[in-house]
Structure 1
Amino acid sequence: MPRPGQPLRGLGFLTIGLFDPADPAAGHEQTLRIIERAEDLGFDSVWLRNRHLQYGISSPLTVLAAATQRTSRIRLGTAVIPLGLENPFRLAEDLATVDLLSGGRLHPGVSVGTPMRYDDIRTALYPDTSDLEDFSKQRVLRLLRNLRGEPVSDFEGTVGIEDFSRVIQPQSPGLADRLWYGGFLDSAIWAGEQGLNYLTSSVVTTQNTTSTDFATIQAKHIDAYRSHHPDPTRARVSQGLVVIPTDSASPEQIRRYTDYAKSRLARTTSPQGPRELVFSPDLVGPSDELAERLYAHAGFRGADDIAVALPFTFAPEDYDQIIGDLAERLGPALGWRPGTDDS
């Protein structure tokens, strides 16, 4: 686990892929360019968030399919695909296709639960079955069975000139082992029991704990995940936090970054809403200071990788500066070196 003197295993970042609804193609192209630059900078991974009915990427796998043809090494992840809006049969086909195009670099992150604003979209999403849909973890298990090649059809053979398979096609061996699951304590335990990888984010909940300290709660989730994994040597945790290095930022950028973090600070001081959510403060500053703060963070010390969350509304030149400093300043300050993570 990353501590002073111990190198960070993997460095990545995640983005919403913001776009202007008047010109969405330009926003998607900008996301592809930043993925290309990330590979040039030596990042181990880049992750796309999933946003439906918003001005961010709604189809991360489509964008990552394009990215497979512009990159050759970097891992391509989703953080996360909400399975309540997906059919595990069709999703397994898409995941396997993109994984094959990437040469085995896809790392799908998924979650379950009732889709966001479900009452507003249920009729359009599931017009005949909206009251019957199962949004439990069974959806993940269905997806895993499909990725592992368990039969989905009672028929296999030839009809005329067409050949049919019992299992999802194409199959991409090893893809199921690269599935990540995100969530809170119960999800951490379940992900461990299933042998999945575990995604954490900048949000936790005080449920099942007396603490209100973000780092303490996140570390508890990570410990629970590892303790329930059948093979702790293969258990892998990625931490997602908003971390903004300012080493090469202009004075105007530093001011905006600092104002952005201050505008979000109030929500980090106490649990929010009926689920008692606790948000992590955004970290802004020079890389040497950020490294000290991360090494003191109990959640970071329990993770293997960090996937820095890029703020939603920054400009392309801001993202260029941030990812440049992440790779060239903060990563090395954490003991990371490009190309050392071969997983």
Structure 2
Amino acid sequence: MSGTGIPDTRSPRTGEIPELRIGFITHLDQHDDLGSIYRDNLRLVQALETLGYDSAWIATRHFKAGWATLPSPFAFYGAAAVSTERIALGTAVLPLLLDDPVRAAEEVSVVDHLSNGRLVLGLGKGVPSDSFHVFDSWNKNRDAGFVAKAERLQWALEGSQVEGGSESLHPPNRSLSGRVLYGSSNLETIRRAAENGEGFILERFGNGPERTAAARRGFQERQAESIRIYRQVFEETWGDMRTPYVVLSRSAYPGPTVESALAEAGTRVRRWNDFAARIGRVDPTWSVPDQLLSDNVPWGTPEVLAADLLADPSVALSDEIVLGVHPAHHTIDETIEKARILLEELVPLVRSGWRAQREELGIDELRTDRVTA
């Protein structure tokens, strides 16, 4: 890790238990005023830094998928880079399938230089759409296309000379190579991330049959198993030469009581659930609690939320937890207040329990058998 605690998979492992890092994610979906949503969320990132969050994550979605309003993170993170000083800036995730990876490498290199090395580059395939074919770079083979483009981006970041030419990426940025994470549920892609010495980032909710309240635990267990596989392959490939890094995204809707949190969450996410029902992601006949849980959104007091998170088997296996209250219709000030409650009242409980679970698992020891037990 660097001096600021920014993850760096290419640094040697120490075998010591680090502190759990905490991020906060925004989809820029808090309200409908498109004229101010970008400026409002810049203020949110600045507030997250003031509160003490380790990282701020921005969801990148094309065609306003899931109400998210940012199709590309580069301009927004350029502004965030020069208006903050400490907080890490994470992409969740850059849908690389729709980009030229060398052009993307140029963009992220510029942003990283603007931020003095605070960019954490989450790469993924993007939320599926029936309109992606409009992009010239679209590849129907999502898994193979993603890996090929991720490796091409790394090739560019590492300063490789262009085949048949004399040039290499400018501005150069070899240090960003240690801050790249693959986002995928495909086991071959996960294995490739580990073999390449990259990090691993996991989404908040499941897909298809995993999107029911009853399947929530199974989804969490499936994600935990994918982390175990990642860590095992990383260990087998790199030993103590590099440090694996896992980022886990989770929602947590806080309130002074369980009942008030449920009532508020049910009201604030109704817009999302109506949209999700129209596209077949949520059954509108379900109760509000079942609709929330199908999206992996718990609610309650900080104590209840901490217990819920610590019962998730993927939490102890992760190095950074990215919290969010989305999908919810809030003002930015309301979002900032929720973020404050989560950091000041929920996070201390989670960090304490996480450390105890981490020690029991022995996950930071340089032994594969302890990781997979």
| TM-score range for the pair, normalised by the shorter chain length | 0.7 to 0.9
Q: How much does 1:205 deviate? A: 6.1
Q: How much does 1:147 deviate? A: 0.8
| 8 Å contact from structure 1 (residues 45, 74) kept in 2 | yes
What amino acid does structure 2 have at the position aligned with 1:188?
I
Q: How much does 1:190 deviate? A: 2.1
What amino acid does structure 1 have at the position aligned with 2:145?
F
Percent identity of equivalent pairs: 25
Q: How does 1:153-192 map to 2 (within 5 A)?
A: 154-156=164-166, 166-186=167-187, 187-192=189-194
TM-score (norm 2): 0.72
Pick the structure with more helix per residue: 2
Q: Work out the number of aligned pairs and report it.
A: 304
CA distance in structure 1 between the aligned counterparts of 2:205 and 2:140, rounded to whole angstroms: 29
CA distance in structure 1 between the aligned counterparts of 2:152 and 2:246, rounded to whole angstroms: 23
- SS of residue paired to 2:128: coil
2:44 corresponds in structure 1 to 34
CA distance in structure 2 between the aligned counterparts of 1:232 and 1:109, rounded to whole angstroms: 23
1:335 corresponds in structure 2 to 351
CA distance in structure 2 between the aligned counterparts of 1:223 and 1:60, rounded to whole angstroms: 30
What amino acid does structure 2 have at the position aligned with 1:231?
W
| 8 Å contact from structure 2 (residues 106, 171) kept in 1 | yes
1:285 corresponds in structure 2 to 300
CA distance in structure 1 between the aligned counterparts of 2:250 and 2:152, rounded to whole angstroms: 30
CA distance in structure 2 between the aligned counterparts of 1:221 and 1:72, rounded to whole angstroms: 34
1:231 corresponds in structure 2 to 238
CA distance in structure 2 between the aligned counterparts of 1:121 and 1:44, rounded to whole angstroms: 33
2:129 corresponds in structure 1 to 117
What amino acid does structure 1 have at the position aligned with 2:157?
L
Question: For residues 249 and 318 of structure 1, do their structure 2 counterparts lie closer, same or farther at Cα, with a shift above 3 Å needed?
Answer: farther
Q: How much does 1:81 deviate? A: 0.9
Question: For residues 81 and 254 of structure 1, do their structure 2 counterparts lie closer, same or farther at Cα, with a shift above 3 Å needed?
Answer: same
Structure 1 residue 91 and structure 2 residue 104: aligned?
A: yes
2:227 corresponds in structure 1 to 222
1:75 equivalent among 80, 88, 91: 88
Question: For residues 331 and 131 of structure 1, do their structure 2 counterparts lie closer, same or farther at Cα, with a shift above 3 Å needed?
Answer: closer
Q: Which runs of 5+ in 1 are unaligned?
A: 1-5, 157-165, 269-277, 337-343
Question: For residues 206 and 304 of structure 1, do their structure 2 counterparts lie closer, same or farther at Cα, with a shift above 3 Å needed?
Answer: farther
Structure 1 residue 143 and structure 2 residue 153: aligned?
A: yes
CA deviations 1:211-259 (Å, max 9, x no partner) are: 97122111101000101113366111111111122249995x6522145
CA distance in structure 2 between the aligned counterparts of 1:116 and 1:290, rounded to whole angstroms: 30
| 8 Å contact from structure 1 (residues 184, 205) kept in 2 | no
Question: For residues 151 and 7 of structure 1, do their structure 2 counterparts lie closer, same or farther at Cα, with a shift above 3 Å needed?
Answer: closer
Alignment RMSD: 3.3
Question: For residues 58 and 41 of structure 1, do their structure 2 counterparts lie closer, same or farther at Cα, with a shift above 3 Å needed?
Answer: same
CA distance in structure 2 between the aligned counterparts of 1:279 and 1:152, rounded to whole angstroms: 47
What amino acid does structure 1 have at the position aligned with 2:224?
A
What amino acid does structure 2 have at the position aligned with 1:226?
R
- SS of residue paired to 2:225: helix
Pick the structure with more strand per residue: 1
Question: For residues 232 and 182 of structure 1, do their structure 2 counterparts lie closer, same or farther at Cα, with a shift above 3 Å needed?
Answer: farther
1:15 corresponds in structure 2 to 26
Q: How does 1:95-106 map to 2 (within 5 A)?
A: 95-106=108-119
TM-score (norm 1): 0.78
1:162 corresponds in structure 2 to none
